[in-house]
Structure formats: C-alpha cells, structure tokens
Amino acid sequence: MRLGGDRKHRLQAPLRQCEGFWPDRNHRDSPQAWLEIYRVVRAETERRAAPLSPEDQVVQSMPDASPIKWHRAHTTWFFEQFVLASHVPSYRAYDPRFAFLFNSYYVAAGPRHARPKRGLVTRPDVAEVGQYRAHVDAAVEKLLTSIGARIAGDVLPVLEIGLHHEQQHQELMLTDILHAFSDNPTAPAYDPDWRWPPGAGRRDDWCELPEGIHTVGNQTHGFCFDNETPAHRALIGPVRLARNLVTNGEWLAFMRDGGYSRPELWLSDGWATLMGEAWLAPRNWREIDGNWYGFTLNGLSPINESLPVSHVSYYEADAFARWAGKHLPSESEWEVAARAGELEDAFGVVWQWTRSAYGPYPAYRPVAGALGEYNGKFMVNQMVLRGSSVATPPGHARVSYRNFFYPAARWQFTGLRLADFPT
C-alpha cells in the first residue's frame, strides 16, 4: 500500500510562527546549527514524497504544477548552483545536464527546460533523483563541517535562502499532487489520516482598526524574503476585519443565492474566467446526488459547513465579498490586525486573499545577481495572500510573509476573510 496509511508519513500539525525552528540569534553564525536544520528541512521533503509511488512522482497535471520528482531535484539543484558551485572549488556536479533540467526560472543561471514539459522527463528516474539528493547532501554536510570563517559569512545566508526555498516547494508538493489526484476518477487519498487542523474557535465579531499610521513589512533581524522589505509606514483604516475565515457553509449560501450565475457580482475578468472554465463551485467540490463533496488530501468526503472554504480564486473571493456587502482587506490591514493577535486562524489553515496587488514596497530593491530574480520579477498582475495554509511546512510562516498568485489560481489552499467599514 503506497498511498498513505503509514503513520510515520502523516503530516505534522503546522507551527503558527517560525520561532523556535531556526537557529536563534546566538547560533546564526554556527555552521553546526545550520547543518542540523539543513537535515531537518531536507528530511521533511522526503517525508512528504514517501507516500507517493514513482508513477505519482512523475505526473504533471497542468503547466502551473510540477512533478514531485522535479520538486525534489529542483530544490537540490538550488543548493548545487548557489552554494556548492559558487563556494566549493573542488565540487563536482552530480550530472552537468541536471542544471538544464532542474533550473526553474533563473535566467542568470543559464538555459532551462520548458516548464510545461517537466512531466515528460522520465529520466533521471525517482531512484536517481534520490541519489542526486544524497550526493548534494553529502557535499553540503562536508562544507558545513569544514567551513572556515572566511567564507561562512557568504555561504550561510545563501544556504538559509535555499532552506526557505525548499520549504516553499514542500507546500507545492502537496498542492500539486492534490491537483493531480483531483483529476483521477478514483479520487485517491494522499494520506487517509490527513485532517484539517482544529479551528482556533470562532469569535463572530470584528476587529476594529481605527485610522492610524502603522509600520508594516519585516522589522526583525531574522530571515525574510526581499519582498517583505523595506518596512515602511502605512495609513490604515478606519476599517474592521472579520476575526473568522469564511466557511463552507457561508459559501454554500452564496452558491444557493446564484453566486456563480450573477455577473453583477463579478469583476469582468473574473466572469470571463468563470464562463471559460465553467466554474460552479470551489475547485475540488463535486456534486453527487444533490449533495456537495470536497476532495482533499484524505480523499473525497461530504462538505463540512463549519470548516473554512478553500481552493477559491481571487475572483471568487472578490465576488463573495461583494455578495456579502463587504470587501477584502488590504495586505497592510491584514498585517496590522494579525500583529495585534486579533485574527483567528491567521496561520496554518488557508492562505487569505487580500485586495492588494503584488508590487514592490517603497524603496524596494532586489538583491544583486541571479537570486535577485527570486521575487522582484514577478511583481505584476498577481494578488497578495497573507497568513499560511495547512500545507505550509513547520517554521515557514511569518506575519510579514507575502504570498502571491494570479487571480484565477485556485489549486492552492486559498480562502478569505472579509473586511467592512466601521458602523
């Protein structure tokens, strides 16, 4: 039995914040501390892949999703390219052809295979990708156990980015295999024991944010991606944010009121997408004998009306908010409320769409070199999501974190909370 069932592969409950996961302030210069966290992060990738067969790991169900095998190899290439090749003169690449296969979008790092064709790469096979990972792991471990102070200051920050990068792909591994399984008529379960995290409890009221100037963006000395900086001041409110996420039950009410058949509720691009893709419900919902079922990592089951709605696009979230007579919060409003501890289920359940377009913060500058391509070149035509999801790995969430997707995307664990004007 390869598809789940083995309890050792069960997903861990998500951490709501990243404190306690990464080397603390006193150990950030310690190669030994980074070696230990390197092993933890790399093992999490393998744990997520373990329930999946070689056939599962090669499939690419759409251009936006990547095969599990590719995620495992690409995250490995990242360390090979940006840590080993750059800082270990004696390092020998496992296979020089892998740079072409497993570079994602780094133009400065050289040519690469076409993204929509990743599912056609059956060689190297799953076993060899495992050997590739072991080869790079051995080289990184050797580097960290022998590194001199002279280059540690150059290597450790890049290694740290590589670990956060691998965590991003760990989330994609789950969302991409869920998308692939959702196209399988037998509705296979990734893990039959998978469960939504217990809710934080409902407080059916609003968090009031009076008008004021607040600092948003990353203000810590810990890790963040460049798109979270610089911290800057923003005028907030007056506004109020729902403490709770929108639920499946509320979404059913929207559907029963013609939510998917009333163009006046929708943005023009959203309505065109709905018509083109024949949307009738959130992605992964299926109507069987007049009842709605949802497909997720544990397979197909009746919709639980008390759980947060998931797998909705920005267009759907915006239409729902308009139907409810409300709107979506801006990312700054979300951040100020979350910093104050006023939002239930801000982390670890579903990413929350905001009405903020993904763009640079004032005075933003991407880092120099190929890693400057990490975030900056995507700052157009996408919308910001805040928080984190049930698929986000331990230690990855931050209150200043800016996730971003195109407004029609809905294969991630994406939901919403509402905003309103004060009464």
Residues lying near Fe ion in the complex (CB under 5 A) are found at 104
Helix (H), strand (E) at residue 213 = strand 212-216
| Closer residue to Fe ion in complex, CB, 315/358 | 358
With respect to Fe ion, which residue has the nearer C-beta, 104 or 389? 104
Smallest distance from the beta carbon of 77 to Fe ion, in angstroms?
Answer: 9
Number of helices (H), then strands (E), belonging to the chain: the values are 11, 12
Are 251 and 320 spatial neighbours (Cβ–Cβ below 8 Å)? Answer: yes
* Cα within 13 Å of Cα(114), Cβ side: 5
| Amino acid present at 370 | A
Q: Give the single-character DSSP code of 381.
A: S
Under the phi-then-psi rule, with left for phi > 0, alpha for psi from -120 to 50, and beta for the rest, what region is 154? Answer: alpha
Give 389's DSSP letter: B
| Closer by beta carbon to Fe ion, 57 or else 310 | 57
Q: What are phi and psi of 206, to 5 degrees?
A: -120, 150
Q: Which is nearer to Fe ion, 70 or 279 (CB)?
A: 70
User: What three-state secondary structure class fits 287?
Assistant: strand
- Nearer of residues 76 and 104 to Fe ion, judged by Cβ: 104
Amino acid at residue number 253: A
What sections of 225-306 are H helices per DSSP?
248-256, 268-277
**What's the closest the beta carbon of residue 163 comes to Fe ion, in angstroms?**
12
For the CB of residue 307, give the shortest distance to Fe ion in the complex, in Å: 30
**Residues 321, 265: contact at Cβ < 8 Å?**
no
In the complex, least distance from residue 375 CB atom to Fe ion, rounded to whole angstroms? 11
Name the residue number minimizing CB distance to Fe ion.
104
CB of 104 to Fe ion, least distance (A): 5
Q: Going by C-beta distance under 8 Å and a sequence separation of 6 or more, which residues neighbour residue 68? A: 49, 52, 56, 57, 58, 173, 176, 177
Least distance in angstroms from the C-beta of 40 to Fe ion: 19
Alpha-helical regions (H) of 80-125: 85-87, 98-102
Would you say 173 or 241 has its CB closer to Fe ion?
A: 173
Q: Considering Cα of 178, then 309, then 386, then 298, what sign does the dihedral take?
A: negative
Choice between 79 and 206, CB closer to Fe ion: 79
Residue 115 vs 202, nearer CB to Fe ion: 115
19 contact partners, CB below 8 Å, separation of at least 6: none
What's the min distance (Å) between Cβ of 342 and Fe ion?
Answer: 33
In the complex, least distance from residue 373 CB atom to Fe ion, rounded to whole angstroms: 10
Reference 349, options 283, 301, 302, 415; nearest CA is: 415
Q: How far is the CB of 122 from Fe ion (least distance, A)?
A: 21
Quick one: 86 or 298, whose CB is closer to Fe ion? Answer: 86
Q: Report the nearest approach of Fe ion to the CB of residue 165 (Å).
A: 6
- What helix, strand, coil percent values describe the chain, rounded to 5? 40, 15, 45
CB < 8 Å & 24+ apart, contacts of 259-262? 259/319, 259/320, 259/323, 262/323
* Residue 350 DSSP SS3: coil
Nearer to Fe ion, 104 or 247 (CB): 104
Q: 74 near 104, Cβ under 8 Å?
A: yes
* Nearest distance from C-beta of residue 405 to Fe ion, angstroms: 15
Of 79 and 254, nearer to Fe ion (C-beta) is 79
Take residue 378 and report the two structure tokens written for it.
């995507």
